């Protein structure tokens, strides 16, 4: 299969700032780490439905993936960011229909309590664990093909860390 013949999947992502200006990452239940145990830490993200506004989609995805949409948008990345799947995942990941994803990213401030975060809200949860991390650690947690996007998110949203810390 030639990846160049496949489209990118439209997607939204959430850099969800919580206590002390840290961000929420979740561990994928279906992506093992090098030792075969659960791994694959990532930010909440998901597809945009046909005709759906990305600002609506990001709240829908938060509710589906972490059980709550109690947040407010602080910033929107000005560009759509893309990544390509590695060759071994083309035709398998993302339903086998896409070469990668074209993403609109948002920085949000979490307005709820930790009790609101429910990874079991969906009958088939995508994640099995979550934690708060420093924004600057995101690239080290990402799978290699998503690392450049996470590096860009750190650059784009680093200015928000201090203001979120001051509100906590």
Residue 112 sits in a domain whose CATH number is: 3.90.79.10
Is 102 a domain residue? Answer: yes
Instruction: Give the number of domains in the chain.
Output: 1
The stretches of 41-85 forming alpha helices (DSSP H) are 54-66
pLDDT tens digit sequence for 127-147: 999 999 999 999 999 989 999
- Counting residues of the chain whose pLDDT is more than 90, the rounded percentage is 77
Is 84 a domain residue? Answer: yes
**Per-residue pLDDT, 40:** 82
Is 167 a domain residue? Answer: no
Q: Which residues contact 1 (CB under 8 A, 6 or more apart)?
A: 90, 91
pTM of the predicted structure, to 2 decimals: 0.93
Q: Look at residue 133 and give its three-state secondary structure.
A: strand
Is 165 a domain residue? Answer: no
Cα dist from 61 to 46, 55, 121, 165, whole Å: 6, 10, 12, 25
pLDDT tens digit sequence for 79-129: 999 999 999 899 988 989 999 999 999 999 999 999 999 999 888 899 999
* Residue from 127, 118, 146, 133 nearest 44 by CA: 127
Is 49 a domain residue? Answer: yes
Cα–Cα distance, 120 to 128 (Å, whole number): 8
Taking 60 as the threshold, does the pLDDT of residue 38 lie above it? no
Q: Domain limits at 61?
A: 3-160
Is 166 a domain residue? Answer: no
**Per-residue pLDDT, 49:** 97
Taking 90 as the threshold, does the pLDDT of residue 167 lie above it? no
């Amino acid at each position: 299969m030639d990846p160049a013949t496949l489209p990118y999947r439209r997607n939204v992502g959430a850099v969800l700032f919580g206590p002390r200006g840290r961000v929420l990452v979740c561990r994928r239940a279906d992506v093992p780490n090098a030792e075969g145990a659960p791994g694959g830490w990532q930010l909440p993200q998901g597809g945009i439905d046909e005709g759906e506004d990305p600002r609506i989609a990001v709240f829908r995805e938060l509710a589906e993936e972490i059980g709550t949409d109690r947040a407010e948008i602080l910033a929107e990345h000005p560009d759509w960011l893309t990544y390509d799947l590695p060759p071994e995942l083309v035709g398998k990941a993302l339903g086998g229909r896409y070469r990668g994803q074209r993403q609109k990213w948002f920085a949000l401030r979490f307005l709820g309590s930790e009790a609101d975060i429910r990874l079991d809200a969906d009958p088939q949860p995508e994640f099995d664990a979550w934690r708060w991390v420093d924004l600057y650690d995101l690239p080290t947690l990402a799978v290699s093909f998503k690392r450049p996007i996470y590096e860009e998110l750190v650059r784009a949203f680093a200015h928000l860390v201090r203001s979120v810390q001051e509100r906590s």
